[in-house]
Amino acid sequence: TQLLEQSPQFLSIQEGENLTVYCNSSSVFSSLQWYRQEPGEGPVLLVTVVTGGEVKKLKRLTFQFGDARKDSSLHITAAQPGDTGLYLCAGARTNAGKSTFGDGTTLTVKP
Amino acid sequence: NAGVTQTPKFQVLKTGQSMTLQCAQDMNHEYMSWYRQDPGMGLRLIHYSVGAGITDQGEVPNGYNVSRSTTEDFPLRLLSAAPSQTSVYFCASSSSGGHTDTQYFGPGTRLTVL
């Protein structure tokens, strides 16, 4: 059973467009993290959200944690080719450190 | 700091062979973990450790063993490789394993089992 569903699975857009990717679950999480992974490398943490309704901004990236702490979204404004990569969400329920990852959204931004 | 290092970067095994994937971190992190990533999928937790001498199973532990004799090292052993274990393996570490901690990932080991 996949606890975290990410959508869309693939997204190909032109430079300058806006996009939103989603991470949904029927389970409540203590925190949710977003990672970006480039080909041939390990994932790199972008942000951690903890509070229901929390919004965090990282330059052109806006992350939101759902009020019920079951879902999250990542919005990118004016996408650039450097945003290309696999975006992964990961949820954790306790302080045990066991994160559950979604299957990821592969984003391609064409110049 | 080198961060999290993994060796080898690539490995090809025959079915039934055994091998050890090495992972080391120089950040004095207590928590270390092993994940596998299959094409088009996210990461699945194999085993994890909250400190030296303590290990526990993750989501997909069958066919793998781990030990944690030092804070720095967390090797993953494949006992008898199977084609289903063809995957990319990532080691990660964080300071204490808390749910808001940053996990730092190594560059991965790409394993093919024939």
Residue contact A42–B107, C-beta within 8 A: yes
Question: Which tens digits make up the pLDDT trace of A45-85?
Answer: 999 999 999 999 999 999 999 999 999 999 999 999 999 99
Strand partners, B90: B35
CA dist B63 and B17 (Å) reads 12
In this prediction, what percent of chain B has a pLDDT beyond 90? 87
- Helix, strand, or coil (residue A99): strand
Residue B71, Cβ neighbours under 10 Å: how many?
18
- Inter-chain Cβ pairs, chain A and chain B, closer than 8 A: 69
Strand partners, B88: B37, B110
Residue contact B99–A93, C-beta within 8 A: yes
Measure in Å the smallest separation between the Cα of B82 and chain A Cα atoms: 23
Residues 15 through 74 of chain B touching chain A, CB cutoff 8 Å: 31, 33, 35, 40-45, 48, 50, 58-59
Q: Give the dihedral of Cα atoms B22, B27, B32, B38; nearest 10 deg.
A: -60
Question: Which tens digits make up the pLDDT trace of A5-60?
Answer: 999 999 999 999 999 999 999 989 989 999 999 989 999 999 999 999 999 999 99
In this prediction, what percent of chain A has a pLDDT beyond 90? 85
Residue contact A88–B97, C-beta within 8 A: no
Nearest CA in chain B to A4: B42
Residue contact B102–A94, C-beta within 8 A: no
Measure in Å the smallest separation between the Cα of A88 and chain B Cα atoms: 7
